[in-house]
């Protein structure tokens, strides 16, 4: 295997061989100064004892070196496998099959990887696109009837890869099907699959999705979504752009704890998504600093859905909705559909609710310093879904209150979503503004929004 260190057995064999220069037996035990009593637990084979001082010292040096090698962290021994034209591996799945736990696989964007699908069974792999963003189109293929990649190894990182076109007989073909703990996905793009990311239901698992884009995923039956996280301990979802799922939801999570921070969840011109954001089983949920837009074409009139399917094994129904900008281009409906099973009053603070509709279906929700309306001079460029504030948004500027804390966590928005799929520190300009953005003068035109790229 390219670049791989020798196995532990090979190292041990070498140490024992050198430890036997005089043909006698060396006890390579705890105190090397005496070369006595050290039990070299990392190695199999016979224990040997030296007959001379020189032999004992040689034995000690080898034993120490071998022991240190065995104690070295896995990362130090991890290999880097190169994928692409002229590289040792032509396709990602060939490298994935050859990898050992902890390895890094670098995938050159220049390669043609259409139809290259597989399961990722090793743990601790980093799968990263380089020299641009490599594209894996399913091209009619799927792994295990599930996805382009089925993640079965814990602690996997997927970084800078484009997944598209997965279709399976069950109509839930995903870019990634996740069956392992602690997946991190970042800087990746999922489009025109039946599901962008779909996870299993292991309540001990966590998943982090950040700096990634989801668009046009869905079979079209309402059961397939841009992102669908099953029963998990934790979802962290931040700095993402999820747009225009086909009849499904932009983000759906059954996790016990959800941290949905600084995203752009938008249907836009052609979106037929249902919920822009749904937690059908509740869960302790923090929704802070997001832009959430419902188009006129949304297939239902609610934007954020909470506990619509009962607890489903979750135990927490605390919902915190702070400093988000909700835009309802459908003109009517419900911004926060907090269902009857919810016992704990939601905390709803410093949000913009633009465009008409019922703010909250939960009568007991704590509504604090939110602003509703449909003024046409609040936002920079609504036609292009740029809902940062203009100087004329006096109803919003400095109109918020201290976000406070909830469930022991600060509810303050420290960042803003920066389009596309990035984040930046939220400026502090006087009192906090209402909504996902802080007005900071004309500097907003310098941050790259107008250079946003539609990669389709």
The piece of 133-141, 194-202, 248-256, 424-432 that touches Ca ion (CB under 5 A) is: 424-432
Quote the least distance from Cβ 240 to Ca ion, whole Å.
18
Q: Given candidates 377, 398, 409, 450, which one binds Ca ion under the rule CB under 5 A?
A: 398
Specify the residue, 398 or 409, whose C-beta has the smaller distance to Ca ion: 398
Cβ 229 vs Cβ 207: under 8 Å? yes
Specify the residue, 217 or 294, whose C-beta has the smaller distance to Ca ion: 294
Half-sphere exposure of 74 (CA within 13 A, CB side): 8
Quote the least distance from Cβ 432 to Ca ion, whole Å.
6
The piece of 78-86, 188-196, 206-214, 287-295 that touches Ca ion (CB under 5 A) is: 287-295
Q: Is 332 in the site for Ca ion (CB under 5 A)?
A: no
Q: Given candidates 212, 240, 300, 360, which one binds Ca ion under the rule CB under 5 A?
A: 300
Q: Given candidates 73, 85, 408, 430, which one binds Ca ion under the rule CB under 5 A?
A: 430
Quote the least distance from Cβ 403 to Ca ion, whole Å.
13
Specify the residue, 395 or 429, whose C-beta has the smaller distance to Ca ion: 429
Q: Is 278 in the site for Ca ion (CB under 5 A)?
A: no
Specify the residue, 375 or 428, whose C-beta has the smaller distance to Ca ion: 428
Specify the residue, 180 or 327, whose C-beta has the smaller distance to Ca ion: 327
Specify the residue, 143 or 393, whose C-beta has the smaller distance to Ca ion: 393
Q: Is 429 in the site for Ca ion (CB under 5 A)?
A: yes
The piece of 10-18, 174-182, 243-251, 422-430 that touches Ca ion (CB under 5 A) is: 422-430
Specify the residue, 5 or 412, whose C-beta has the smaller distance to Ca ion: 412
Q: Is 23 in the site for Ca ion (CB under 5 A)?
A: no
The piece of 22-30, 164-172, 416-424, 432-440 that touches Ca ion (CB under 5 A) is: 432-440
HEC secondary structure over the chain: CCCCCCCHHHHHHHHHHHCCCCCCCECCCEECCCCEECCCCCCCCCCCECCCHHHHHHHHHHHHHHHHHHHCCHHHHCCEEEECCCCCECCHHHHHHHCCCCCEEEEECCCCCCCCCEEECCCCCEEEEECCCCEEECCCCCECCCEEEEECCCCCEEECCEEECCCCCCCCCEEEEECCCCEEEECCEEECCCEEEEECCCCCCEEEEECCEEECCCCCCCCCCCEEECCCCEEEEECCEEECCCCCCCCEECCCEEEEECCEEECCCCCCCCCCEEECCCCEEEEECCEEEECCCCCCCEEEEECCCCCCCCCCCCEEEECCEEEECCCCCEEEEECCCCCCCCEEECCEEECCCEEECCCCCEEECCEEECCCCCEEEHHHCEEEECCCCCCCCCCCCCCCEECCEECCCCEEEECCCEEEECCCCCCCCCCCCCCECEHHHHCCHHHCCCCC
Q: Is 298 in the site for Ca ion (CB under 5 A)?
A: yes
Q: Is 433 in the site for Ca ion (CB under 5 A)?
A: yes
Radius of gyration of the chain (CA): 27
Specify the residue, 359 or 429, whose C-beta has the smaller distance to Ca ion: 429
Nearest 10 degrees: Cα torsion 64, 68, 69, 73? 170
Specify the residue, 126 or 351, whose C-beta has the smaller distance to Ca ion: 351
Specify the residue, 169 or 442, whose C-beta has the smaller distance to Ca ion: 442
Residue nearest to Ca ion (CB): 298
Q: Is 73 in the site for Ca ion (CB under 5 A)?
A: no
The piece of 5-13, 205-213, 242-250, 286-294 that touches Ca ion (CB under 5 A) is: 286-294
Quote the least distance from Cβ 147 to Ca ion, whole Å.
26
User: What does the binding site for Ca ion look like in residue numbers (CB under 5 A)?
Assistant: 294, 298, 300, 398, 429-430, 433
């Amino acid at each position: 295997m390219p670049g791989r260190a020798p196995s532990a057995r090979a190292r041990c064999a070498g140490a024992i061989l050198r430890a036997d220069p005089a043909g006698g037996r060396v006890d390579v035990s705890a105190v090397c100064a005496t070369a006595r009593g050290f039990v070299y637990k990392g190695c199999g084979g016979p224990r040997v004892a030296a007959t001379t001082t020189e032999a004992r010292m040689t034995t000690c040096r080898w034993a120490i070196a071998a022991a240190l090698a065995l104690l070295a962290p896995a990362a130090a021994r991890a290999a880097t496998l190169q994928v692409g034209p002229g590289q040792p591996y032509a396709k990602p799945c060939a490298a994935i099959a050859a990898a050992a736990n902890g390895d890094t696989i670098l995938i050159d964007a220049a390669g043609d990887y259409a139809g290259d699908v597989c399961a990722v069974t090793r743990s601790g792999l980093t799968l990263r696109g380089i020299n641009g963003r490599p594209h894996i189109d399913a091209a009619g293929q799927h792994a295990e009837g599930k996805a382009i990649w089925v993640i079965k190894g814990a602690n996997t990182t997927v970084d800078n890869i484009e997944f598209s076109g997965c279709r399976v007989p069950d109509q839930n073909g995903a870019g990634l099907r996740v069956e392992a703990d602690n997946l991190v996905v970042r800087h990746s793009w999922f489009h025109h699959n039946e599901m962008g990311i779909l996870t299993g239901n292991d309540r001990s698992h966590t998943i982090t999705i950040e700096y990634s884009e989801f668009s046009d995923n869905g079979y079209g039956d309402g059961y397939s979504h841009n992102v669908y996280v099953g029963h998990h301990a934790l979802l962290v979802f931040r700095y993402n752009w999820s747009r225009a799922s086909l009849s499904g939801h932009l983000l759906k999570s059954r996790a016990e704890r959800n941290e949905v921070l600084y995203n752009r969840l938008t249907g836009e011109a052609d979106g037929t998504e249902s919920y822009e954001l749904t937690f059908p089983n509740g869960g302790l949920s923090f929704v802070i600093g997001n832009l959430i837009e419902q188009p006129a074409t949304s297939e239902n009139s609610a934007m954020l859905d909470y506990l619509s399917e009962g607890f489903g094994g979750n135990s927490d129904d605390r919902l915190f909705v702070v400093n988000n900008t909700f835009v309802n281009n459908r003109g009517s409906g419900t911004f926060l559909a907090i269902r009857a099973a919810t016992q704990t009053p939601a905390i709803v603070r410093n949000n913009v609710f633009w465009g008409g509709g019922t703010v909250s279906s939960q009568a007991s929700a704590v509504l604090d310093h939110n602003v509703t309306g449909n003024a046409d001079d609040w936002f920079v460029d609504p036609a292009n879904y740029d809902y940062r504030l203009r100087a004329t948004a006096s109803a919003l500027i400095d109109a918020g209150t201290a976000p406070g804390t909830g469930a022991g966590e600060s509810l303050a928005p420290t960042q803003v979503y920066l389009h596309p799929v990035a984040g930046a520190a939220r400026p502090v300009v006087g009192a906090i503004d209402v909504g996902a953005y802080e007005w900071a003068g004309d500097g907003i035109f310098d941050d790259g929004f107008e250079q946003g790229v539609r990669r389709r």
